[in-house]
Structure 1
Amino acid sequence: MHWINWVIVAVYLVVVILDGLRRTRGTRNIEGYFLASRSLPWWAVGLSVMATQLSAITLIGTTGQGATDGLRFVQFYFGLPIAMVLLGVTLVPFLHGAKVYTAYEYLERRFDPKTRSLTSLLFLLSRGMSAGTIIAAPSVVLSAIFGWDLAWCVLLIGVPTIIYTVLGGVEAVAWADVKQMVVIVGALFALVAVLIWRLPVPVDDAFRIAGATGRLKVFDFSFSLTETYTFWSGILGGTFLMLSYFGTDQSQVQRYLAARSVDEARSSLLMSAYWKIPLQALILIIGVLVFLFYTFSPAPMLYNPRHDAQLREQQPAAYAELEARYTAALAGRDQAARDASTIRGSAPLVAFKTQNDAVESVRKEALAAAAKATGESSRDVNYIIPRLVLDHLPLGFAGVFLAAVLAAAMSSIAAELNSLATASVVDFYQRWYRPEGSDAHFLMAGRVATAIWGMFAMVVATYAATLGSLIEVVNRFGSFFYGSILGVFLLAMWKRSHARGAFVGLIAGMSAVAAVSFGMPEVSFLWHNVIGAVVVFVVGAVLSLGGGAGSPASADA
């Protein structure tokens, strides 16, 4: 990569770290460190929430998903506006008005200490693994493209983020997120412009060609528990996932707890409700444009350069045979695409789809051969956009895009680490080990916890990088826990529920999700959120109605 690109990346990293150092000046107590003294304006909170969601996984994994699978992934977010409205009238006023540091602190007031601790522990497990996956995304880019060892790439991403998060707390994280959103959105629009400029055919003709492969199909109204991206899984499973994520995940709850008021907290969530789906659609459209770019330009048979080199070295004859077939298939697809762009009617589009299927068939064989040769997952969807940016785009753009990837990664990682530290200190260290102590003591404990979780996330990152599409990996991790956690909060809003019902219900919900996840792996992970929430609520409600240990606590406790 040209030195100018590295200068752009270096300048960005220095600016973010210096801003984190600058914001440490006002951090002298735990409320300032964990909640920015509850002083953030709604628009900063809203941008911080969106930046936390818009991780490097989104920029890398979702664009790759769009290139290989089209726009249907956007159905995953159809439940988001519904969830935001529901949260605005339920959990947001509950938690903001309770003046708690963590969402799980409220559960002790409503139920008992063990329900709070178990729920917080489940959050720590899910979010700790997800933080590792978020670090893995840019690390995969650097490792594969530059040939660097993955462990060094993980350190390069993780260490600067840990530094400014440890020093500045949630205020440094939130204001860094605001800057990072500007970098990310700017890079996305620049990428759209460059890709359209590089197309050899008019945009409307190009999208007609993409439509022939089904990549422009948004809605799938079939109802299937085994299909992840359908209208119904997005509306039902997606709503439960978004309710869990924004309503009970400390990384998001901590944002609106830091807002000045309940109304500003609601406004910050509505910002995501309005803008998340259009922004996600833009990212998927970039993926479709990447597919179109490679339709008219030679596409790599394997986007992961390391896997390509290993297969070429270990099986030269098989590689040469696959490469010859792939080159011929690419030539046929290119000609069919050019015909489809100039000749109207369905026949040229059908011919293009046939040629595209031939290309994908050879690539599937190459991916299988690479998996066998390397002993690793052969899915290279995470490498599509990095190869395009570094191999084909103008000088300086690679630096801007890499800075955007780092911005996305650092904003999400910082939010995760800050929330993990908050839950660790408030829900465990302060609650069970050191109930009394000075602000200085708990502030230091928060910084130590942030550093420890940062190291844990970096260890997880080296494993997560091998699991395939990272955007799916992070949502699988979350969906295993989120539904059950949401079920506990739903019980908390029902006045007749009591502590034993909530605790047993939570265990039952996690057991049900584990049984489905491992016993019926064909069931899509989005439905795990529904299963967990329903089982927790039903079991908890039955036990609460049946009486027994513990009387119903006041919902206003």
Structure 2
Amino acid sequence: MHQMPLIDLAVIVIYLLCMILVGLWFSRKNKNAAQFTTASGTIPGWALGLSLYATFLSSNTFLGVPGKSFGSNWNAFVFSLSMPLAAFIAAKYFVPFYRHSGEVSAYTHLERRFGPWARTYAMVCFMLMQLARMGSIFFGVALALQALTGLEMRTIMTVTGICIIIYTVLGGMEAVIWTEVLQGIVKTAGALIILGLVITGMNNGIADIFRIGMDNAKFSLGSFNPADVRTSTFWVVLLYGFFINLNNFGMDQNYVQRYHTARSEKEASRSIWLCVYWYVPVSMVFFFIGTALFAYTQQHPEMILAVKQTVAAERHVPVETLLPADYGDKVLPWFMVTKVPKGLLGLIVAAILSAAMSTVSSGMNSTATVFLKDIYQRYINRVSGPGKDMKVLYIATTVTGLLAILFGISMIGVKSILDMWWELSGIFAGGMLGLFLLGIVSRTKNAAAVTATLIGLVVILWMSLSKYLPAAWEQWRSPLHVHLIIVVGTLSIFLAGMLLTRLQRRALPES
């Protein structure tokens, strides 16, 4: 077991205590569901923007992105490049839509358009996506802290999860947002410190990173062949990024709920752009960290040998069979263990914890809100009072956190955090976004919407599961890359709904 210096442990403990104290401070305000879920609409736009940025910048970014760029190239950075277009649509259309509706739940509109089934379907997809997101984040944190402390990953996830549950239950959305403002700053500082340490460890500084990176095609954004849909090309990632960000800004309760916390519609729209202005350049820093670590290991081969030996022992495979993509997620934690000075290590660990806490806490709060609005008040108790609502929110937040911990534990052994999260999010989000767009853009009726959703579900399940078909049925496997699941799933529902609506209109005069 590794022994962290006392000063670093002190920094980590102080940070965790501060988060819990923030929850206690804001708990005195939580007298009703409106305060717990939307902070009663009192959050300034700049704070909301930093909160959105911190939610995007999860531990999947902090650990998964450097691991991805270390093991391959900058292809995944195209996801960040897709954000401005999705943000433009969200700020111009989605924010006014939700602010004018007055509904805290993102899925109430679907019931008004298509009936209770649509609301329930979207709600279930959202909850599954949140559990997958929070589970992957817990796994990423455990991956890093295991290398630093030697503690068992299940223990790390459990302790971290309980701390997050406590301050989320106590503080509500206002505590979540203001702690995310602090966490966003801490994460950014942690990334810059790591990058600075890697650069100073190179023989010729940043010049060597660019030289080695260029020689190994580490800065490549992927193939630009538009006909290639089997691999992760530039266009495949761009389409995935646009659709998933459109889902984030337009259908994800995490973001929709925040639009109602802003003081005005204008500030809510501005917060989306502030999120983009921060996330795109900072995500570039994380990709550069991965490339810098690759260059660093070329000049310090003893480090990569130690990482490979550790991974080989964990997976019970020969060292020589491992490729960079197999151990990319392990390199940054190993660098932190061996190269980060005392004092700074605690700050960086706090940055990783904050990356987890910001996304997980908002996920817990938004999932609890969906449970209250879309399940409890819809099907169980339509006339519940403030006291009962708060009790439901507390219980739902706690249960969500515990389930997320179990999801994280189930992910132990995954090779790439980023790849796993992208695939799961594409599967769960595709149906939601297609149905949402159908409800806003078209005049589709309930029957056509049900049929279109079933068609989309069949397509999504085929694209997701056909890779597991035996070799004899290879011709039935999906020829498309997994990143296209959300693209094809969304378009299947939307276009099928539009086509069925047109056919129904043509049939009306004859009836």
Residue 127 (structure 1) aligns with: 130
Structure 2 unaligned segments of length 5 or more: list them: 467-476
1:489 is aligned to 2:436: yes
Deviation at 1:367, TM superposition (A): 6.5
- Map Cα deviations across residues 199-237 of structure 1 (whole Å, 9 max, x no partner): 111422431122100012235312221222x32123322
- Cα distance in 1, alignment partners of residues 453 and 105 from structure 2: 18
- 2:103 equivalent to 1:146: no
381 and 202 in structure 1: CA distance in 2 versus 1, 3 angstrom threshold = closer
Q: Which of 9, 17, 21 is 1:18 aligned to?
A: 21
State which of 227, 231, 256 in structure 2 corresponds to 1:227.
Answer: 231
Residue 197 of structure 2 is aligned to residue 250 of structure 1: no
Shift of 1:525: 2.4
Residue of structure 1 equivalent to 2:488? 531
Q: Give the aligned residue type for 2:482.
A: F
1:438 counterpart residue number: 385
Say yes or no: does 1:450 pair with 2:391: no
Matches within 5 A, 1:325-474: 362=320, 365-366=321-322, 379-474=326-421
Q: Cα distance, 1:389 vs. partner? A: 0.7
SS at match of 1:216: coil
Counterpart secondary structure, 1:496: coil
Conserved? CA contact 1:78–1:234, under 8 Å: no
Structure possessing the higher radius of gyration over alpha carbons: 1
Contact 1:166 1:447 in 2 (8 A): yes
The answer (yes or no) to whether the contact 2:140–2:417 under 8 Å persists in 1 is yes
Per the alignment, in what secondary structure is the counterpart of residue 103 of structure 1?
coil
Alignment of 1:81-160 (within 5 A): 81-160=84-163
Aligned pairs (5 A) from 1:298-317: 298-301=302-305, 303=307, 307-309=311-313
Share of identical aligned residues, percent?
28
Distance 2:206 2:154 in 1: 41
Alpha carbons of 1:410 and 1:387: their partners in 2 closer, same or farther (altered >3 Å)? Answer: same
Cα distance in 2 for partners of 1:67, 1:310 equals: 20
After TM superposition, the score normalised by the length of structure 1 is 0.84
Label 1:506 to 1:304 Cα distance change in 2 as closer, same or farther (>3 A).
farther
Rounded to whole Å, the distance in 2 between the matches of 1:531 and 1:73 is 19
Distance (whole Å) between structure 2 residues aligned to residue 454 and residue 310 of structure 1: 28
Shift of 1:145: 4.1
- Matching residue of 1:183: 186
Distance 1:128 1:138, change over 3 A: same
Give the Cα–Cα distance (whole angstroms) in 1 for the partners of residues 446 and 213 of structure 2. Answer: 54
Distance 2:157 2:256 in 1: 27
The answer to whether 1:281 aligns with 2:238 is no
Deviation at 1:385, TM superposition (A): 0.3
2:456 match? 509
Is the 1:302–1:380 contact (alpha carbons within 8 Å) kept by the matching residues of 2?
no
Q: What TM-score results when the alignment is normalised by the length of structure 2?
A: 0.91
Cα RMSD after superposing both structures: 2.1
Number of corresponding residues: 491
Contact 1:139 1:153 in 2 (8 A): yes
